[in-house]
Amino acid sequence: MDDATLAALIRAAGLEETAREFPDDVRDALATVARQRAALPRSSHPRLEPTPGYLAPRR
């Protein structure tokens, strides 16, 4: 990942201060997520509902 992208992602997450104090931890976190994304099953089934699902409260 290039430095500009890295900086943009850190800014978007609001982690500028944390990245200054723990740059390796923040860089590792981005690498971890990139690795994990590759392993995540991605169904293309349009009607597959998430769990837990939303239920309107009953009175």
Partner 1 sequence: MSAPHQLSLAEASTQIAARKLSPVELLEDCLARIAAQDPKLNAVIRLTEEEARAGAQAAEEEIARSGPRSALHGIPVGIKDIIDLAGHPTTCHSRQRLDHRADQDATVVALLRAAGAVFPAKLATHEFAIGGPAFDLPFPPARNPWNPAHHPGGSSSGSGVAVAARMMPTALGTDTGGSVRHPASHCGLVGLKPTYGLVSREGVFPLAFSLDHVGPLTRTVQDSALMLNAMSGGREDFSRDLGRGLKGLRIGFVRHFHEADMPADAEMAEALETASKLMEAEGAVISTIRLPPLSEFAAVNRTILQSEAAVVHEEWLKTRPSFYAGVTRRRLLPGLFIPAVDLMHAARDRTRLIAAVETAFNEVDLLLTASSMDPACRIDDEEAVERTYPRQARTPFNVTGHPAVTVMAGLSSGGLPLSLQLASPSFSEALLLRAAEGYERAAPWKDRAPPLDV
- 44: DSSP letter: -
CB 56 → partner 1: shortest distance, Å? 18
Please report whether residue 3 would count as binding partner 1 according to CB under 8 A.
no
Q: Find tokens 């009953």 and name the residue.
A: 58
Q: Are 9 and 30 in contact (CB under 8 A)?
A: yes
Please report whether residue 8 would count as binding partner 1 according to CB under 8 A.
no
Return residues touching partner 1 (CB under 8 A). 9, 13-15, 17-18, 21-22, 25-26, 28-30, 32-33, 36-37, 39-43, 45, 48-52
